[in-house]
Structures are given as C-alpha cells and as structure tokens.
Amino acid sequence: MVDKEKCTGCHQCELWCGTEIASTSKDLARAIQETPQPVPRVYVEGKPFALQCRHCEEAPCLDACPNGTMRRDPETGLVYVNEPTCIACWMCVMVCPFGIINPSSSLKVAVKCDRCKNMGYPICAEVCPTGALSLVERKDYRKKKF
C-alpha cells in the first residue's frame, strides 16, 4: 500500500525493483550496464505517488488475457505473468485501470509487479526511505488513519 503523504518521489523503489527483480545480475552497478534495459515493476508518477500492481480482486487483466498467461496464485491471491506463454498482445496493458502493466518491447512480454512473491517481502517496501510503501492487509489499510 502507498501512503501518498509520505512519498517524496525519490524513485528508490524503481531503482531497486529494477535491480533486484528485473535485472539478471542483481547488482546495481552491473544492472545499469545491462541490455536490454531492466524494466522496473513499480513507477513513481505525478504527485509524486509510487504505483504498483494492486492485485485486484476482480482483475481486468485476468479477463483480458487471451491465453491464460496472466494468472492468479491460488495460495496468495497474487496476480502474475507467466512469461513463457506471453504472446505480447498487450491486452492487459490496455485494460489495467492503474496503468501499471508495462510492455517490454525487447523481450516481448508484459511486465508487472508480482509483489516479489518469491522473496517473502516486496523490495519496494523494504527500500522505501520514508515508509510510504508498506505491506499491510487491505482491511487494516482501510482502518488506517492518514
């Protein structure tokens, strides 16, 4: 979840997501030199506000995907892209209401946040210096007073 009051727009989440999740080397200095350029799964836009996948309960991307590449993990409920089967039709990119799915033109796959499902804790929340990004249950987030 994002606390928009705390987001300073420092882009650290983008940088470390690009390094830890999107790069093959997992080392910032080497990731910078990688081609194709690693594509982070989180974006800092406008206000500033860090945007990443909300893993919607009724996810339009799941409905739009023509061949079942976009999947929901039955255990965690997280929505993720099964990259080997992606045909790069970009339907998911078009229907996402938050605009967080990105087409990776070089790899021909849709790229989106899987909330670091293999790491236990999302890297963006781990590195956020102000604590604007945090992992909380949706029901707790609703109760939270900002």
How do strand 49-51 and strand 43-45 relate by DSSP bridges?
A: antiparallel
Q: Which of residues 53-82 bind other proteins (CB under 8 A)?
A: none
Binding part of the chain for other proteins, among 33-41, 58-66, 83-91, 132-140 by CB under 8 A, reads 33-41
Q: In DSSP terms, which residues pair with 44 in a beta bridge?
A: 50
The only residue of 3, 7, 14, 100 in contact with other proteins, by rule CB under 8 A:
14
Which amino acid would we find at residue 137? E
Q: Which of residues 112-131 bind other proteins (CB under 8 A)?
A: 126-127, 129
Binding part of the chain for other proteins, among 13-21, 52-60, 71-79, 88-96 by CB under 8 A, reads 13-21
Gap between the terminal Cα atoms of the chain = 12
The only residue of 28, 87, 94, 136 in contact with other proteins, by rule CB under 8 A:
28
Q: Does 29 bind other proteins (CB under 8 A)?
A: yes
The only residue of 37, 51, 90, 117 in contact with other proteins, by rule CB under 8 A:
37
The only residue of 1, 6, 11, 71 in contact with other proteins, by rule CB under 8 A:
11
Q: What is the contact surface with other proteins in residues (CB under 8 A)?
A: 10-12, 14-16, 18-19, 22, 27-33, 37-40, 43, 126-127, 129
